[in-house]
Structure 1
């Protein structure tokens, strides 16, 4: 049974990345930048990816739709949201 438990633990992670692979290139890029950097705001993501803010917003929405990105309000500026990847 421990083998089954290990497989079931790993399966959701693979499925999450499989879901990301089906998204547009901008969403894949944003996911990889979040994986590398941890937590970033939308404007920081735009700087890191060199994508327009509107494209980053679209990518984040797509990533949120499949449940792989978490958005929280920034402690330093409540007008901003901080995004982090929920895939390990």
Structure 2
């Protein structure tokens, strides 16, 4: 059973400093552009899909990013910064 712990932006910023540049770019893209799928992030950042997937995995482990299943296409996940309000699809 996992529980969600609200983290301050200062804690998230500290965790972000330890991550690779690709993860920082993905996090900033989510901050500026809002919720996105993995393929949308790859397109926006011009990073390879594999690199984006690794960055999202690291960001989720750090608690900076969260994901949910897309209601439009259940095969995709929508990623957003943890603590941000989910947008309507």
Q: TM-score scaled by structure 2? A: 0.83
4+ residue stretches of structure 1 with deviation over 4 A? none
Task: State how 1:5-84 maps to structure 2 within 5 Å.
Answer: 12-84=8-80
5+ residue gaps, structure 1? 1-10
Q: In structure 2, what is the Cα distance between the partners aligned to 1:62 and 1:55?
A: 11
* Gaps in structure 2 of 5+ consecutive residues: 1-6, 85-89
Q: Identify which range, 21-30 or 78-87, moves more after superposition.
A: 78-87
Work out the number of aligned pairs and report it. 78
Answer 1 or 2: which has greater helix percent.
Answer: 1
SS in structure 2 at match of 1:19: helix
Q: Considering only aligned residues, what root-mean-square deviation do their CA atoms show, in Å?
A: 1.4
TM-score, normalised on structure 1? 0.84
Give the structure with higher Rg (CA): 1
In the other structure, the counterpart of 1:7 is none
